[in-house]
């Protein structure tokens, strides 16, 4: 296909299609995750013709999740492209989830004719998309004129990656794409964004305040969140932890920032260190529900709402995050790279944490680790989560560069606690919302963006939300190995219908389903694994061959617990507690 915008002959014209493509490429965005249809089919074709990688999905939510995690992995906004109204709405869940998780992405949706939409005259796929997107993302823009495309893309990129990263919606009405303009003027209208995520240096007095708190601490603790993983300040974060000698806890997606086997990791003593710590330094982690809002019994408070007495230091790029749940005694506002390096410069002033604290943690860790080792050594028939995940644990130890995608309830919680990660940004999961459906979208983007193999550990319910994308994985021949922890249902496969009627219980699926056959339908490798040995062989072969693979791991249907680790959030149970 010709490239009007790069033609140098005088009088050459360009159009909206090419300006969008050129603006993305100019800003180093070379991949689009999307799903074609009116009015963006030709945009996908032309983008491919112009050398962009266009990854087509079977449902926009998965394309959106792919874009979001591409943003997390690369610090560049992932781009998702959809059609109008229904396609846009399908992408919106992912956009909203990206915003919630602070992942930079841009959802670009074609839209119907403005005049008709605004008069509500019933256009094809009519919807006021901009208005609907606005409350669900960080910023939303619409471009009406071809000469504004450069500005529109530049604003979208800046909004997505600067400050706290998030999702941006860009509305491109159908008519825009065919608008023509002089090619030279078009080229001149594009903007290459300079320094899209400017460093934000912390104030020196904020650093001093934090250092003073750490100096006085008897039982300090560092909490690493996915913001710390996103920031790609890996060496400095590791140096800060190691040179201060402070024990640390990684949040789920921060696992591997330092290897989970690191002697300072307190992960195996989590329920001991949270209530005991006296000064807690949060690095890119929010005190939301995942940390029990920084108070209550988890933190040693005397009841569910009480403050546990900890002093908090919080490093975050968003000033408004401070005091959101409990008082933050030493807020450090800035980008994590700059903040951690400023702290590192002062770390010489700190003495190592008291031995009593470190020994107490070590004691708890040793006890819990040996208890876990006992459980993992068992080989029950049928397999349970532990015996299956013991295999996965070995595999990640031997192949630490592999990416792990993980969703489900028990399939999530057990994997998080059993499978050690050794490198930063290798663990991708359900994040802040605990959302199901990220599995295949994340897997596709993880493979596309890194070229590395991906293992997706999926609950059988979780997999269902994005399962059709196994065709996408086969179509692009991606090195993705999906392992379904098949316990015949949501949490378990054993619930019964109390009426004795013929409908099964709401949490129960078809018994003994063969998910592996889904993969075979598209030319991938399907394996039915009933023992740890078969599971090990299946995954190892997938890593060796890099062929799309799906392993149906048959798990004891009685093995799971309700809601995995978050049973207490169920209304009925919470009231009873």
List contacts with ligand ADP (CB under 6 A). 101-102, 164-165, 225-227, 230-231, 251, 253-254, 284-286, 288, 290, 316-318, 321, 335-336, 432
Site for ligand TPW (CB under 6 A): which residue of 316, 329, 460, 556? Answer: 460
Chosen from ligand ADP, Mg ion, ligand TPW, none, partner binding at 143 (C-beta under 5 to 8 Å by type): none
User: Taking CB under 6 A as the rule, does residue 487 contact ligand TPW?
Assistant: yes
Considering the complex, what minimum distance in angstroms separates the CB of residue 163 from ligand ADP? 8
Select the binding partner of residue 164 from Mg ion, ligand TPW, ligand ADP, none (C-beta < 5 to 8 A, by kind): ligand ADP
Nearest-approach distance from CB 488 to Mg ion, in angstroms: 7
Q: Looking at beta carbons, which residue is closest to ligand ADP?
A: 227
Q: Which of 257, 403, 435, 535 binds ligand TPW (CB under 6 A)?
A: 435
Q: Please report which helix (H) or strand (E) contains residue 396, including its range.
A: helix 385-398
Torsion of CA 355, 357, 360, 364, to 10 degrees: -130
Q: Which is nearer to ligand ADP, 187 or 286 (CB)?
A: 286
* Spatial CA neighbour of 467 closest among 105, 57, 89, 53: 57
Closer Cβ to ligand ADP, 4 or 331, answer by number: 331
Q: How many CA atoms lie within 13 A of 324 on its CB side?
A: 15
What is d(CA 203, CA 529) in angstroms, rounded to the nearest whole number? 56
Among 150, 167, 250, 459, binds Mg ion (CB under 5 A): 459
Distance from C-alpha of 444 to C-alpha of 343, rounded to nearest angstrom: 37
User: Which residue spans within 76-166 are E strands per DSSP?
Assistant: 78-82, 105-111, 139-142
DSSP track, 41-94: HHHHHHHHHTT-EEEE-SSHHHHHHHHHHHHHHHSS-EEEEE-SHHHHHHHHHH
Nearer to ligand ADP, 275 or 434 (CB): 434
- Burial annotation 494-519 (CB, 10 A radius, 16+ → b, else e): bbeeeeeeeebeebbbeeebebbebb
- In the set 5, 189, 410, 450, which binds ligand TPW (CB under 6 A)? 410
Q: Among ligand ADP, Mg ion, ligand TPW, none, what does residue 21 contact (CB within 5–8 Å per kind)?
A: none
Sheet holding 31-34, edge to edge: 53-56, 31-34, 78-82, 105-111, 167-173, 139-142
Residue 437 contact partner, candidates ligand TPW, ligand ADP, Mg ion, none, CB within 5 to 8 A by sort of partner: ligand TPW
Which class for 345: exposed (0-12), middle (13-18), buried (19 or more C-beta within 10 A)? exposed
Rule CB under 6 A: say whether 67 interacts with ligand TPW. Answer: no
Backbone φ and ψ for 310, nearest 5 degrees, come out as: -70, 150
Q: State yes or no: residue 156 binds ligand TPW (CB under 6 A).
A: no
Least distance in angstroms from the C-beta of 63 to ligand ADP: 22
* Residue 408 within binding range of ligand TPW, rule CB under 6 A: yes
Is the CB of residue 550 less than 8 Å from the CB of residue 518? yes
Does 294 contact Mg ion by CB under 5 A?
A: no
- Please identify, among the stretches 74-82, 258-266, 433-441, 446-454, the one whose residues bind ligand TPW according to the rule CB under 6 A: 433-441
β-partners of residue 457 are 406, 483
- Between 66 and 254, CB nearer to ligand ADP: 254
Nearer to ligand TPW, 148 or 495 (CB): 495
Residue 336 contact partner, candidates ligand ADP, Mg ion, ligand TPW, none, CB within 5 to 8 A by sort of partner: ligand ADP
Q: Which range of residues in 155-163, 331-339, 406-414, 541-549 is near ligand TPW by CB under 6 A?
A: 406-414
CB of 331 to ligand TPW, least distance (A): 32
Q: Which stretch binds Mg ion (CB under 5 A): 115-123, 272-280, 421-429, 481-489?
A: 481-489
Phi first, then psi: give them for residue 322, nearest 5 degrees. Answer: -65, 140
Does 382 interact with ligand TPW (rule: CB under 6 A)?
no
Burial class (CB in 10 A: 0-12, 13-18, 19+), 534: middle
- When asked if residue 487 is in the footprint of Mg ion (CB under 5 A), the reply is yes
- Asked if residue 287 binds ligand TPW (CB under 6 A), the reply is no
Which residue from 120, 148, 118, 147 is spatially nearest to 130, judged by alpha carbons? 118
- 361 φ, ψ to 5°? -65, -45
Residue 250, CA distances (Å) to 188, 396, 415 in order: 46, 17, 14
Shortest Cβ distance from residue 513 to Mg ion (Å)?
11
Q: Could you tell me the smallest distance in angstroms from the CB atom of residue 436 to ligand TPW?
A: 4
Residue 396, token pair as written in the block: 């990640």
> If you ran DSSP here, which 8-state letter would residue 301 be given?
-
Specify the stretch interacting with ligand TPW by CB under 6 A; choose among 209-217, 232-240, 328-336, 434-442. 434-442
Which residue's CB is nearer to ligand ADP, number 333 or number 485? 333
Using an 8 Å Cβ cutoff, are 240 and 347 in contact?
Answer: yes
Q: Answer yes or no whether residue 441 interacts with ligand TPW by CB under 6 A.
A: no
Which residue number has the CB closest to ligand TPW? 459
CB 275 within 8 A of CB 300: yes
Q: Least distance (Å) from ligand TPW to the CB of residue 406?
A: 10
Q: Counting contacts by CB under 6 A, is residue 490 touching ligand TPW?
A: yes
**16 Cβ contact list (under 8 Å, min separation 6):** 146, 149, 172, 176, 177, 178, 179
> Which of 433, 430, 535, 533 lies closest to 482, judged by CA?
535
Least Cβ distance, residue 408 to ligand TPW (angstroms): 3
- Distance in Å, CB of 167 to ligand ADP, minimum: 13
Helix axes 439-450, 60-74, angle to 10 degrees: 40
Kindly state the smallest distance separating residue 535's Cβ from ligand TPW, in Å: 15
Least distance between ligand TPW and beta carbon 422 (Å)? 24
Cβ at position 451, least distance to ligand TPW in Å? 28
Residue from the set 273, 485, 535, 539 that interacts with ligand TPW by CB under 6 A: 485
CA–CA dist 71, 73 (Å, integer): 5
Q: Interface residues with ligand TPW (CB under 6 A)? A: 408-411, 434-437, 459-462, 485, 487, 490-491, 560, 564
């Amino acid at each position: 296909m010709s490239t009007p915008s790069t033609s140098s002959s005088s009088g050459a014209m360009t159009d909206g299609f090419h300006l969008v493509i050129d603006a993305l490429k100019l800003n180093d965005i070379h991949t689009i995750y999307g799903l074609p249809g009116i009015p963006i089919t030709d945009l996908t074709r032309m983008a491919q013709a112009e050398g962009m990688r266009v990854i087509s999905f079977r449902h926009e939510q998965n394309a959106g999740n792919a874009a979001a995690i591409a943003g997390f992995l690369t610090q560049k906004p992932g781009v998702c492209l959809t059609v109008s109204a229904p396609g846009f709405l399908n992408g919106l869940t992912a956009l909203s989830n990206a915003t919630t998780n602070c992942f930079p992405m841009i959802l670009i949706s074609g839209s119907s004719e403005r005049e008709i939409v605004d008069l509500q005259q019933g256009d094809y796929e009519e919807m006021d998309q901009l208005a609907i997107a606005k409350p669900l993302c960080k910023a939303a823009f619409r471009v009406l004129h071809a000469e504004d495309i450069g500005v529109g893309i530049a604003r979208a990129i800046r909004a997505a990656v600067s400050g706290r990263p998030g999702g941006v919606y860009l509305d491109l009405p159908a008519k825009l794409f065919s608008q023509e303009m002089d090619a030279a003027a078009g080229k001149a209208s594009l903007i290459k964004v300079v320094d899209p995520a400017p460093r934000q240096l912390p104030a020196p007095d904020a650093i001093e305040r934090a250092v003073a708190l750490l100096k006085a601490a008897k039982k300090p603790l560092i909490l690493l969140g996915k913001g710390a993983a996103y920031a790609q300040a890996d060496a400095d974060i590791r140096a800060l932890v190691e040179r201060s000698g402070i024990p640390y806890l990684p949040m789920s997606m921060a696992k591997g920032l330092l290897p989970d086997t690191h002697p300072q990791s307190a992960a195996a003593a989590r329920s001991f260190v949270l209530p005991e710590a006296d000064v807690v330094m949060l690095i890119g982690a929010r005190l939301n529900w995942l940390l029990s809002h920084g108070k209550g019994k988890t933190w040693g408070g005397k009841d569910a709402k009480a403050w546990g007495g900890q002093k908090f230091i919080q490093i975050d790029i968003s000033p408004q995050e401070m005091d959101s749940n409990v008082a933050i005694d030493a807020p450090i506002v800035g980008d994590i790279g700059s903040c951690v390096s400023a702290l590192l410069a002062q770390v010489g002033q700190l003495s190592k944490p008291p031995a009593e604290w470190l020994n107490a943690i070590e004691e708890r860790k040793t006890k819990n680790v040996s208890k876990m080792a006992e459980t993992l050594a068992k080989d029950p028939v049928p397999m349970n989560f532990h015996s299956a995940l013991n295999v996965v644990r070995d595999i990640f130890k031997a192949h630490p560069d592999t990416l792990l995608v993980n969703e489900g309830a028990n399939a999530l919680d057990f994997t998080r606690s059993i499978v050690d990660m050794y490198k930063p940004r290798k663990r991708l999961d359900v994040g802040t919302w605990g959302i199901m459906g990220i599995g295949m979208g994340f897997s596709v983007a993880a493979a596309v963006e890194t070229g590395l193999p991906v293992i997706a550990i999926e609950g059988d319910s979780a997999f269902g939300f994005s399962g059709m994308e196994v065709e996408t994985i086969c179509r692009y021949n991606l090195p993705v190995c999906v392992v379904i922890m098949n316990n015949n249902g949501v949490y378990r496969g054993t619930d019964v219908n109390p009426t004795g009627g013929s409908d099964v219980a709401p949490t129960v699926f078809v018994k003994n389903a063969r998910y592996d056959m889904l993969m075979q339908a598209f030319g991938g490798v399907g394996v039915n694994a009933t023992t740890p040995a078969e599971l090990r062989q299946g995954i190892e072969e997938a890593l060796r061959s890099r062929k799309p693979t799906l392993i149906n791991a048959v798990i004891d249907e009685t093995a799971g617990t309700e809601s995995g680790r978050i049973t207490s959030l169920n209304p009925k149970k919470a009231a009873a507690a």
